[in-house]
Amino acid sequence: MGQLAQLVSGTLEGNENMPVKGVSAFDAANPEEITFANSPGYLDRIDETEACAVIVPRTAPQSGNKVLIRVNDPYLALAKISDFFYGGRRVPPGIHPNTTIGPNFVWGENVSIFSGVVIGRNVTLGDNVILHAGVVVGDGVRIGEDTVVHPNVSILENCRIGERVIIHAGSVIGSDGFGFAREQGRYRKIPQIGIVRIDDDVEIGACNAIDRATFGQTWIKRGVKTDNLVHVAHNVVVGENTVLVAQVGIAGSVTIGDQCILAGQAGVGQHLHLGNGVTVGPQAGVTKSVPDGEVVSGTPSIPHRLWLRVSGIISKLPEMKKQLRELERKMDRLEKSQVPSKNE
């Protein structure tokens, strides 16, 4: 227990020698597991959990019978302790015999390649790379050390994947950008000859589609995290430590700054720029560039505080329309009453 408290820079209250064998949810933990409580609903019930210890904020009340680890951020502490128990490599190294490998394949130490993987020509894998079943790696792809690619991911020709990247099942990296020129009522395809570059410490959710650039690169910078079902179009640049939540769609040639958050189902129109620290609310449609630090919501997106006022008015519009019509009728009657007669 003392080791865990030290790991998260926490203050331990209780038996530092109590053994801990794992982490679990508040209501599911057993006496050999640690859990966490952050919200008032759980903090008021600390003594009810079966867990041997609870990670809590520094301001949490004392417990009568639980070991507590007080930290600045319980959720971050949970991540570190969970990684301590469950993180790290858990698959044996080796290349499955049912792997198709092209010429000039270069791989590092402790690589794990599962059944059904297809590797093209001139592919390079760093140390400790894991390719799960059904992964396709196109010609000329380079993948950095400690990267994990989950089942049925396709990384297409010449894309660059950094170190400690995680790509979840079903994602496609390097699909063609959506580029067509109209010719006599029909569409002519514009060859997409760029690449996708994904920097270190990025995590890509399941069923993402990240399109290759028309020219140059589509660039996902260091530390970006994407949820499931995210689409990033050609020549987009996503800044460091930005978060893209489920079903976000980003049109071509958009530039997104560092430390941004795009909430679920948000959409960004093409050729726009989002500054550093921008937050885009859920289902928002961004139709113009957004400066640093701005929070926007709605479609078309507007500053969030203004959107709150607008959304509060929407439900009142039918009654306001009724009142406006009544005022128009009154004004019409008043104007008619003031029209002079022919005898005047």
What Rg, from alpha-carbon coordinates, does the chain have?
28
The β-bridge relationship of strands 100-101 and 261-262 is unpaired
Distance CA(226)–CA(217), nearest Å, equals 18
Q: Are 155 and 138 in contact (CB under 8 A)?
A: yes
Q: Are 54 and 29 in contact (CB under 8 A)?
A: no
Q: Give 211-235 as a DSSP string.
A: EPPSSSEEEE-TT-EE-SS-EE-TT
Catalytic positions are 234
Distance CA(216)–CA(127), nearest Å, equals 27
Q: How far apart are the first and last CA of the chain?
A: 100
Please name the helix (run of DSSP H) or strand (run of DSSP E) that holds residue 224, with its range, or none.
none
